[in-house]
Structure 1
Amino acid sequence: MDKDQLIEAVLASGVVLPAPGPGFLRLQAAAASEDAGPRELAAAVSQDPAITGALLRVANSPVFRPRAAPRSALEAITMLGRTRTLATAASTALRSHCSGLDADVIEAVWSASARAAELTYAACRQTSAKALADLAYLAALMQDAGIAVLLRRSPELAAALKGQGHTLEAGIRALDALSGADHAAAGALVARNWKLPQDVAEAIRAHHDPRQAARLSETPRFLAILLATGRRLRDGVSPDWIDWTELAESELGLDEASLAELEEA
């Protein structure tokens, strides 16, 4: 990543990377300890109502099928586990940097990312790489973090994303073209700056570039393919998906028949 020309171009373009908030930093610090359990993680977010609320919403979502609805941060974290808890907190912390931007566009971006994360998680669980499901959820939830970076620099470009609902890919390509930057490179910078796992940062960097993804080591390569699969399940067959089909089938066995089964499920 250090010699990536697009990342260097994003840095040179004058964008300001958002800083993680105190709630996320406390949670990240607690999670860094192998001895920390759900109780310690819950204590770390106890003073952050936005993260607490987000954890409860995610833990109660249908994709995780909780036996009993979690009613506290501790119960939510116990159900979600460390990585999905960090994913939810990171996404919530990043969203707090979007005040002043077009509210409808930001809601659409975050809703689309949340849906992609759920579908990416479900798809991963059906592959030989199911051990990566939590990491795939984190990468999917943060894959479009670069959009927030680009819109913070040029808020007027939000118009490129208006009225597209969950299917944002055409608007995202237009945003990159109009901004003269690259949201995938910007998103990788956010992931690196926020000390998310290196595999996640690499997958985010390649999440629209199957040729680059094919050159990655196994874990980030699988993650990048799974991100594309989550978008395929969210958006249907799109120009974004076509170039991923061979990789998805050869690496993870995700052919059209298995994707159709996932869609029905």
Structure 2
Amino acid sequence: MPNATPGLKELLGNAQLPALPQSAIRLLELSQNPDNGPAEFAVPIEADPGLTGQVLKFVNSSYFGFSREISSVKLAITLVGIRTIKNFALWSAVFSLMPNPKCGPFDLKSLWQDSLRRGLFARAFGKLKGLKDAEDLFAAALLQDMAVPLLAKELPTQYVELLQGRNNGEVRLSTLEQAKFGWTHATAAGVMARSWSLPEEFARLIEKHCDLNQLVDSGSKDIGAVSVALSASLPAASDKVWCERETFLAAFTKVAGPGVNPKEALAKVDQEFTEFGPVLKLAAPAKSLVAYLEEQTVPA
């Protein structure tokens, strides 16, 4: 397990990470060869009835808005793209493996709500900046917090303290983790991604999602990493106020450039969530991103 501290390596080793479903592994293998097309990618999906149903429900959702029902996996892949279907299947696979630990304020449903909003935002921001592979940002941002449920399950006493120490977003979980353990859930998620042989780019983007200030202050041209890190500064669905609002706005404005309205960007994410959320059986969070944005600035 590269890039892991000894303590983290031992912890994740003892946790016995569950294996990815064979269908997801096969899709990742197929994606290594650019000559593979919809026909090849349809095979492992069709061999998994549960995944077939999820993919067709996804493609027939209002998110895409096709005028007729799509009943063929191959046609679905042709219409929305290999990368979109592969990343959806990957997230569905990881989603199914996550534990739901009883750990103080931890709430798995809220974590997935946050993950979906962050994925939608990262992809939209990547597209705004003209990034060719913005679809991969969607998957990386979705998976950025995938280590948290596992860590909370393995270290319940410590994570009750850490999650409460966030104080509704006033302090980042990663800051508390770094102080207590010398590593963060971002590092842990990178280890998990590599143990599952996910694309190295996913692991890299996931690992950098806590590094927004460093990326922006250094003038980084790594738009993928900036997009995912920006998404990480969005408010958690369980937080009463958006404590990182000003940090987000300053970074958004600096990277997006003049004339790009953050409210419009967040409204787009809110809208896409209402269309995409039902496919994943996720209700919309109680407060929209635009509502968080329009609230009075949190006092320093």
**Secondary structure, in 3 states, of the residue corresponding to 2:138?**
helix
For the Cα contact (< 8 Å) 1:55–1:73, is it kept in 2?
yes
Distance 1:241 1:18 in 2: 36
**Secondary structure, in 3 states, of the residue corresponding to 1:91?**
helix
In the superposition, the TM-score normalised over structure 2's length comes to: 0.67
Residue of structure 1 equivalent to 2:201: 199
CA RMSD of aligned residues (A): 3.9
Query: Alpha carbons of 1:199 and 1:14: their partners in 2 closer, same or farther (altered >3 Å)?
Result: closer
AA at the equivalent of 2:266: E
For the Cα contact (< 8 Å) 1:54–1:88, is it kept in 2?
no
Residue of structure 2 equivalent to 1:146: 147
Superposition deviation, residue 59 in structure 1: 2.7
Query: Alpha carbons of 1:12 and 1:50: their partners in 2 closer, same or farther (altered >3 Å)?
Result: same
Query: Alpha carbons of 1:173 and 1:49: their partners in 2 closer, same or farther (altered >3 Å)?
Result: farther
Alignment of 1:1-265 (within 5 A): 2=2, 4=3, 7-15=5-13, 16=15, 17-99=17-99, 101=101, 105-125=107-127, 127-154=128-155, 172=173, 176=177, 180=181, 181-213=183-215, 218=221, 221-231=222-232, 238-240=242-244, 242-253=246-257, 258-265=261-268
Distance 1:61 1:168 in 2: 33
AA at the equivalent of 1:44: P
Distance 2:71 2:176 in 1: 39
**Secondary structure, in 3 states, of the residue corresponding to 2:132?**
helix
Residue of structure 1 equivalent to 2:283: none
Distance 2:137 2:43 in 1: 26
For the Cα contact (< 8 Å) 2:83–2:135, is it kept in 1?
yes
AA at the equivalent of 1:113: S
Higher relative helix content: 1
Distance 1:7 1:240 in 2: 28
Distance 1:243 1:12 in 2: 35
Superposition deviation, residue 89 in structure 1: 1.9
More displaced stretch, 174-183 vs 58-67: 174-183
Deviations 1:230-251 (A, max 9, x none): 4556659833454454443333
AA at the equivalent of 1:260: K
Distance 1:169 1:222 in 2: 26
For the Cα contact (< 8 Å) 1:63–1:118, is it kept in 2?
no
AA at the equivalent of 1:84: T
For the Cα contact (< 8 Å) 2:114–2:236, is it kept in 1?
no
Query: Alpha carbons of 1:245 and 1:12: their partners in 2 closer, same or farther (altered >3 Å)?
Result: farther
AA at the equivalent of 1:82: I
Superposition deviation, residue 226 in structure 1: 1.4
Distance 1:239 1:9 in 2: 31
Deviations 1:106-150 (A, max 9, x none): 23322321232223223332x233423211111112111211331
Query: Alpha carbons of 1:56 and 1:183: their partners in 2 closer, same or farther (altered >3 Å)?
Result: farther
Structure 1: 5+ residue runs without aligned partners?
Answer: none
Distance 2:55 2:233 in 1: 26
Residue of structure 1 equivalent to 2:281: none
Query: Alpha carbons of 1:173 and 1:205: their partners in 2 closer, same or farther (altered >3 Å)?
Result: closer
**Secondary structure, in 3 states, of the residue corresponding to 1:13?**
helix
In the superposition, the TM-score normalised over structure 1's length comes to: 0.75
Superposition deviation, residue 99 in structure 1: 4.8
For the Cα contact (< 8 Å) 1:154–1:179, is it kept in 2?
no
